[in-house]
Amino acid sequence: MRLPPCQAALCAAIGLNLLLLVCVWRWGGPPASPRPRTAGGGTGNTRLTPGLRATARRTAAVLTAAGVRYWLEGGSLLGAARHGDIIPWDYDVDLGIYREDAAKCRLLRQAAAGGAVVDDEGFVWEKAPEGDFFRVHYSRANRLHVDLWPFYARDGVMTKDTWLDHRQDVEFPERLLLPLRPLPFAGFTAMAPHDVRAFLELKFGPGAIENPEYPNPAVRSLREDG
C-alpha cells in the first residue's frame, strides 16, 4: 500500500531523527552508568574535551594510588606545555608508564589478563587491540579514551614494544624523564618529564612548543642513530 506523500515524508523524518539519536548515543551520548561530568569550555572541542579531561584525571589518580610512574606523552605533553590543557584538535590523551610498574595496578593486571574491566566510577580499562599498550575509555557507550604506553629502560634509553606510524613516536633518553615533575594539565596536576622542552623538541623538532605543527621527521630511533 502506498502512503500519501505527507505521511511518507513524516515517516522519513521520524526515521532520520531515530538514526541521529543512535549516532549521538554511540559517539557522544550518555555513559553506561551515571556519574558527574566535568565542566565544558576551555580551548578544546567543547563536546569532546570534558570527557577527555575526566578520563585523564581518573586514569592519573588510579595510577598514582597504585604507585605506577606515569608521564604526559606526545601531543598531550605539548598541550600541557603550551596552555595547560588538551590541544584543541586532539581526540585522546597519551600517557607513558614504566612497564615494570603495570603489575602494581589491579585494573591493569585484570586488563592484561583479557577482557574489559569497568572500575567503580564506570571507566573502562582494557588491553588495546592494536598492540602492547592499554586504553581507558570514558564509559562503555562513550569511547573517548586515554592510551597508556608501557616503556622500559634499555642502556639508558626509554623504548617500548609497539610503535605506531607517528613521526613523534620515538625512543628518548631516560635522563630527560627523571625525576618526573608536576605540570598543570586539563584541570588537575599531572606528572611530566623533567626536561619538558628537550623532550618535546626531540620528538617534534626545535621550537615545538611555539610551533607544534611540524614534527621532526629526522628523529626515528636513538638506537639507530648511535
Beta strands in the chain (DSSP E): 70-72, 92-98, 117-118, 124-127, 134-137, 145-154, 157-159, 172-173, 181-185, 188-192
Instruction: Identify which of 56, 38, 47, 45 has the alpha carbon closest to the alpha carbon of residue 87.
Output: 45
What percentage of the chain exceeds 70 in pLDDT? 72
Which pLDDT value is given to residue 202?
A: 93
Q: Tell me the per-residue pLDDT of 139-167, one tens digit each, with 9 for 90 and over.
A: 999 889 999 999 999 999 999 998 877 77
Does residue 31 carry a pLDDT above 50?
A: no
Give me the half-sphere count of Cα atoms (radius 13 Å) on the Cβ side of residue 32. Answer: 15
Placement of cell 604507585 in the chain: 67
pTM score = 0.74
Residue predicted with more confidence, 192 or 222? 192
Dig out the grid coordinates for 165 from the structure: 606510524
Task: Tell whether domain 7-225 is in CATH 1.10.3470.
Answer: no
Q: Tell me the per-residue pLDDT of 190-204, one tens digit each, with 9 for 90 and over.
A: 999 999 999 999 998
> What residue segments make up the domains of the chain, in order of their start?
7-225
